[in-house]
Amino acid sequence: MNSLLLVILVCISVCAYVIASKRAQQLASANGGLRYLHSRPSYYGMLAAIVTALPALLILFVWSISSASIIQSLVMAGVPDSVLSDGTNHSLIYSQIQHVASGIKVTDHAWLINASAHYQHLLALGDNIKFAALIALAVAGLIFGWKLVGPKLRARPHVESVMRGFLLICSILAILTTFGIVLSVLFEAIRFFNIIPLTDFLFGLQWSPQVALRADQQGASGAFGFIPLLTGTLMISFIAMSIAAPIGLMSAIYLAEYASPRVRSICKPLLEVLAGIPTVVYGFFAALVVAPLIRDSATAIGIESVSSESALAAGLIMGVMIIPFVSSLSDDVITAVPQSLRDGALSLGATRSETIKSVVLPAALPGVVGGLLLAVSRAIGETMIVVMAAGLSANLTANPFESVTTITVQIVTLLIGDQEFDSPKTLAAFALGLSLFVVTLALNFVALRIVKKYREQYD
């Protein structure tokens, strides 16, 4: 129905475009050329098409949003008071009516049959009205658009302001959805903090969120201390960074300063392949290859109590994943150091490595640090590697051979099985999401500021 309507609307708009631009053309040639008109004929056409389609589309949009509730109130108005009065839930009754109408349910209550018939009738009526009204509106728009054509009409500026409006709406949409959606996490998180005090969450040392699902069940006590998760996350990120930072940085230096264009053109994309591999693949590799390997070799050199899901395994693999991230950011920053600084050092007789160490790196340092911070935020937010390779036990430990858990892992675990947002358990996922968001946001903010400052230095 809607798609047919859309097709018809498009057709009418195309008509509007064609006849309006034709008319403009005729006007122009009758009056000595296009200079007679304010704008090119196609702009008159576009304006007419906009006038035709835009109001109809807007009304269609409003209708789609509001029709459901209008119909609901109309249908509910027809339901006998006797049914409504005995304290039943209105929306339940309405869904019952809908089920009957769509055939899920069979019933012999007369009022229900009547109501569902009413419902179906309204639905059809609404569709017809919509259809007729929109087409009438479009045709009116077409006529209006055609009438508009004239030498005085500033068609181009009008069309252009519609286009700008469209662009503006898109950017507002992009920004608002992202914002609005962030707010909704905030909202759920606030619900969580209404149950569990913020301080308990932020400073608690114990994490045991699997509370009872039902009244008659014995779950965990519900300790929502965030610290063990934070330390676990930080430990894994730290291990990852201690792999990624030196390797990434040295790779970047080598590629930027030493490698021939040929080597560079081969190695750079190869490194970037590492970043392109889906993290679930790394997780798979970490869990099935690296973790047992670490365990075996640690036992071989006499370290006991090595967990099969050590922080080390997850951290190492995550480090490898982040290498290209560090290297490409550092590479950018290093190549952005002006050649003139290198020339300055070289012309004083510095060797290449001396130039790099004493001039290029210090100059690039803020940018490199910013890049590293971005990489850290990436590590903190990484999910699949840790879900598959790190553990679930919220140990508060500094031993990398033990298993730790991370914020992201807990978010996944908390929401599997139970997705009703009515217990601190499920809401805790949002609190964790929010804290993750805040932490990465803060890191990014700082990192971007540093990088930007650094860029400004040389622009």
Show contacts with another protein in window 315-374 (CB under 8 A). 320, 323-324, 327, 338, 340-354, 356-359, 362-363, 374
Which one of 142, 235, 240, 271 is in contact with another protein (CB under 8 A)? 271
Q: Is 54 in the site for another protein (CB under 8 A)?
A: no
Q: Is 273 in the site for another protein (CB under 8 A)?
A: yes
Q: Write down the least CB distance from residue 158 to another protein, Å.
A: 11
Residue (24 or 138) nearer to another protein, CB: 24
Q: Write down the least CB distance from residue 209 to another protein, Å.
A: 9
Residue (15 or 380) nearer to another protein, CB: 380
Candidate segments 15-23, 97-105, 121-129, 131-139, binder of another protein by CB under 8 A: 97-105
Q: Is 84 in the site for another protein (CB under 8 A)?
A: no
Q: Is 377 in the site for another protein (CB under 8 A)?
A: yes
Q: Write down the least CB distance from residue 151 to another protein, Å.
A: 12
Please tell me the count of residues contacting another protein according to CB under 8 A. Answer: 154
Q: Is 61 in the site for another protein (CB under 8 A)?
A: no
Which one of 3, 305, 456, 459 is in contact with another protein (CB under 8 A)? 305
CA distance 82 to 95: 18
Q: Is 401 in the site for another protein (CB under 8 A)?
A: no
Asked whether 255 and 331 are in contact (CB, 8 A), the reply is yes
Q: Is 235 in the site for another protein (CB under 8 A)?
A: no
Asked whether 290 and 316 are in contact (CB, 8 A), the reply is yes
Which one of 2, 66, 95, 242 is in contact with another protein (CB under 8 A)? 95
| Interface with another protein in residues 123-182 (CB under 8 A) | 156-157, 160, 163-164, 166-168, 170-171, 173-175, 177-179, 181-182
Q: Is 393 in the site for another protein (CB under 8 A)?
A: yes
Specify the residue for token string 């109408």. Answer: 101
| Interface with another protein in residues 249-268 (CB under 8 A) | 249-251, 253-255, 258, 260-261, 267
